[in-house]
Structure 1
């Protein structure tokens, strides 16, 4: 059983793009989006993934996660039977002071939303924030991808 611990932030500007180590386009959908167990299908570049996440703890920073790579053709087929509201985004990987920030720039019905996540070893681990990071939104369900497919950012 893997435990995922991460913090999520809004991004204030595009300064992160100049220092991004790499980027990849991600298309993802949900076979199940109930909070107790989200089942996500993802095409990330030329790879496919199936991911199951459990419900978050009280702070929203920690939850169970299981992921397995699957053939990209199977992921593309599974996307066809997902719940409505596919997520389309580019993920930038940005290293800053020993941490890797995953910065997601969303498109289509979530256009204009840019969020960054950083994985931690413990919930109380301190992270120095780069200047392009804004307000912390860890635990705010509106920013979960499984919620953005149902209530897109442009509809807020």
Structure 2
């Protein structure tokens, strides 16, 4: 499935989101390619595998091309073995708030201590309610991209 992904990313300042979460899923992901113009990600989310290609972000960092296909988990596991160093592990919480859904990623391993929230939008100027646990906006700040966290983990900052 291909589409333009429009999202904003924020630091999270408390764990209050956990009480409102409707689900949580463990995610393991790696990158076959971390070129900023075209990242290729392999992800195991629960018991499903996904292959995702993302294009370069626009100037504001909110919008970029995304193509994703579901693959079986054993194929994804084999592809993870081919990925660049720096496999990411995280727990994703799905948190509805207002008319939107926030995905909150609590990172593990070398990125432990980092908690990021993303909200997907229909257009760049779309307004949305901000929950009180949402912190500083980091949209477009490259060091918070998963592809960069795999190379330069949060613990090394």
Query: Structure 2-normalised TM-score?
Result: 0.99
Match of 1:64 in 2: 65
Distance between the aligned counterparts of 2:109 and 2:120, measured in 1?
26
For 1:42 and 1:120, how far apart are their aligned partners in 2?
Answer: 22
Report matched runs for 1:67-78 at 5 Å: 67-78=68-79
**SS where residue 22 of structure 2 aligns?**
strand
2:10 aligns to what?
9
Aligned to 1:147: 148
Aligned Cα root-mean-square deviation (Å): 0.5
**What residue in structure 1 maps to residue 38 of structure 2?**
37
Which runs of structure 1 show a deviation greater than 4 angstroms over 4 or more consecutive aligned residues? none
Q: CA deviation at 1:34?
A: 0.4
- Give 1:107 shift: 0.4
Give yes or no for the alignment of 1:93 onto 2:94: yes
Deviation at 1:43, TM superposition (A): 0.3
Structure 2: how far apart are the matches of 1:99 and 1:121? 10
How many pairs are equivalent?
156
* Alignment gaps of 5+ in structure 1: none
Equivalence for 2:106:
105
Contact 2:99 2:128 in 1 (8 A): no
How far the C-alpha of 1:89 sits from its partner, in A, is: 0.1
Say whether 1:24 aligns with 2:19: no
Name the CA distance, whole Å, in 2 between partners of 1:118 and 1:77. 30
